[in-house]
Chain A
Amino acid sequence: MNWTWFHKLASPPHAYRIAGGLLPWFGWPALLLIVAGLYGGLVLAPADYQQGDAFRIVYVHAPSAWLSMLIYGTMATAAAVGLIWRIKLAHAVAAASAPIGASFTVLALATGAIWGKPMWGTWWVWDARLTSELLLLFLYAGVIALRASIDDRDRSDRASAVLAIVGVVNLPIIHYSVYWWNTLHQESTLTKIGKPSMAGEMLWPLLVMLLGFTLYFGAVLMVRLRSEILRRERDASWLRAEVGS
């Protein structure tokens, strides 16, 4: 198989330009979908027969929890690619992902706590779902801190990659925690075998928000990846021509 395209893509000048070109294709659809999802979730969807209007928190809680895991998966995959094939761009993707993922993990925990108070009568319980999501935040914090604590870029890339990869075991634990252990947290709404346990008028805004948040992550990742490339390649001659124009 011819891998030239891959190496071309992984070259910093190409990646910098491609990331810049992709940015509007992620950003604008993300904005449209999030606005549509908010309208659908806050205005069009009827109140839940058990949870009343409090259920609307799902439209921001589930997408942020989804992103917290998707971004960790992205970061760990990029870290593994960087570690195995020694592709520096992959480490840049991992470095760019970490702070975005951490912010959505904080958001998932915060909106979950606020939702928990009226529904469960408590902000927090030390059950499997909540504890494993908190552990995810610590993993992000660990990866970010480890990266920042080592001056040598290659060593910092490799060390944080190892931690990111080890932490992947936490992802299935988060997902299956509501099935494996007793918990206050409700089971997954979308991935239930058979059909999703939600009426269509409540479901579509959730799907739209999930897609919108995913594209939003793509947009922010493109901007952060570009600044990672700038930082890593700051003395390269191609760069001077690129940013000078």
Chain B
Amino acid sequence: MSGYFSMGGYAAFVWPCFLLTAIVLVWNVIAARRLHDAARIKVLRRASAAKGSS
């Protein structure tokens, strides 16, 4: 098993690439969802503010 993780001596290059990819894939999902939630909350606030003033 440790032989597998050593990647034939290239572990220091192979694993960081896959780790960076995982970070970018996860970041994109989190960032997109956060933006959507924030925009949704803004719309709801404006809607309730508009209701209150009318």
Contact = CB atoms under 8 A, between A and B. Distances in A.
A218 to B, nearest CB: 12
B21 A53 contact: no
Contact of B36 (A111, A216, A230): A230
Interface in A39-59: 42, 47, 52-54, 56-57
A240 B38 CA distance: 14
A118 B43 CA distance: 51
A47 B6 CA distance: 13
Interface in A1-52: 34, 38, 42, 47, 52
Given A60-B18, A103-B24, A118 B40 contact: no
A117 interface: yes
Contacts of A239: 43
Contacts of A220: 28-29, 32
A121 interface: no
Nearest to A103: B24
A115 B17 contact: yes
B14 A234 contact: no
Q: Is the interface of A mostly helix, strand, loop or mixed?
A: helix
A135 interface: no
A107 interface: yes
Interface residues of A, number: 39
A56 B35 contact: no
A115 B13 contact: yes
Contacts of A190: none
Given A223-B33, A244-B44, A54 B21 contact: no
Interface of A: 34, 38, 42, 47, 52-54, 56-57, 60-61, 64, 99-100, 103-104, 106-107, 110-111, 114-115, 117-118, 216, 219-220, 223-224, 226-227, 230-231, 234-235, 239-240, 243-244
30 contacts: A34-B25, A53-B7, A54-B7, A54-B13, A56-B7, A57-B17, A60-B18, A60-B21, A99-B31, A100-B28, A103-B24, A103-B28, A110-B17, A110-B20, A111-B21, A114-B20, A118-B13, A219-B29, A223-B35, A227-B32, A227-B36, A227-B39, A227-B40, A230-B39, A230-B42, A234-B39, A234-B46, A240-B47, A243-B43, A244-B44
By Cβ-Cβ distance, the 3 closest A-B pairs, closest first, are A230-B39, A223-B32, A53-B8
